[in-house]
Amino acid sequence: MKTLRILRAIAAAGILAGCSSAPKPAPETKTDKAPAAAPVYFKVDPATAGVLTGKISFTGKKPARKKIDVSEDPQCAKMHQTGLFDEAVVVNPNGTLANVFVYIKQGLEGKTFEPPADPVTIDQSGCWFKPRVLGIQTGQLLNVTNSDPVTHNIHPLAQVNRVWNQSQDPGSEPLKRRFKEREVMIRVKCNIHSWMRAWIGAVEHPYFAVTGADGSFEIKNIPPGDYTIEAWQEQYGTQEQKITVKPSAKQDLAFTFKGE
């Protein structure tokens, strides 16, 4: 009997201990993610920055200008009674090429550049994209405007960045878009007017230029270093050259594209 009483006392003590013990709290879970670190932008030393200048020449037979049929839209035809001509190849009077995109392709790895605050604009004017070729830095704002009395459509056929396709009525507010990744080049079309074409070069730094009526280009504020420069032309493709930009120096560069 004594043994039985001892066993009963031990069992009762165990029950009381179990009832009085509090459950262990669940481990804390953190739902808030740590804020992303702000990017550290590379700052060029103006005392040592260099300048790259150059010219894009053209040799060979100058291609005949191709007249575009815009008669499918009477309003567009009214704007171009003397004709509208394709701009895939624009040879300037001095034997150079316009609409060539020139940029630093290699040599800036490891550097992050702050996007410019000022936007880049592409306008739909005269049933035509203006400019034909433009450059933009990744993260920089692109404004798309419509200066015409007709509805247009802008459709960048991106392969790396997100594809978007947007119609724009006359007088509407500018469309605002950005490109996140480098992509050279992005073809742009209008789904309403099939002859409208443009090209956008998106790079992750500010070192690019598009040649104009004299075929020349200038890229400023380049940190000293070794670089690969690429020149892109809509019909003739790309060319590359390696250069060294010395501190506070002006480097000249020339490309030549040959017609058929």
106 shares its domain with 129: no
58 shares its domain with 122: no
Q: What sign results for the dihedral spanned by CA atoms 54, 59, 62, 65?
A: negative
pLDDT bin (cut points 50, 70, 90) of residue 15 is very low
**Which CATH number do you get for residue 193?**
2.60.40.420
What's the residue count for the chain?
260
46 shares its domain with 151: no
Residue 30 lies in a domain: no
- Can you give the pLDDT at residue 11? 47
46 shares its domain with 174: no
**Which CATH number do you get for residue 251?**
2.60.40.1120
pLDDT at 27 over 90: no
188 shares its domain with 162: yes
Say which residue, 45 or 32, is predicted with more confidence: 45
Q: Read off the pLDDT of residues 51-72 as tens digits, 9 standing for 90 and up.
A: 999 999 999 999 998 999 999 9
Q: Read off the pLDDT of residues 108-143 as tens digits, 9 standing for 90 and up.
A: 999 999 999 999 999 999 999 999 999 999 999 999
Q: What sign results for the dihedral spanned by CA atoms 205, 211, 212, 215?
A: positive
Cβ(109)–Cβ(175) below 8 Å: no
Residue 180 lies in a domain: yes
Cβ(152)–Cβ(190) below 8 Å: yes
Q: Of 172, 201, 230, which residue sits at a domain end?
A: 201
217 shares its domain with 243: yes
131 shares its domain with 145: yes
How many distinct structural domains can be found in the chain?
2
Give residue 218's domain range: 37-113+205-260
Residue 256 CA to residue 247 CA, distance in Å, equals 27
101 shares its domain with 216: yes
Share of the chain above pLDDT 70, in %: 87
pLDDT at 216 over 50: yes
Q: How far is CA 167 from the centre of its chain?
A: 21
Residue 192 lies in a domain: yes
177 shares its domain with 102: no
104 shares its domain with 155: no
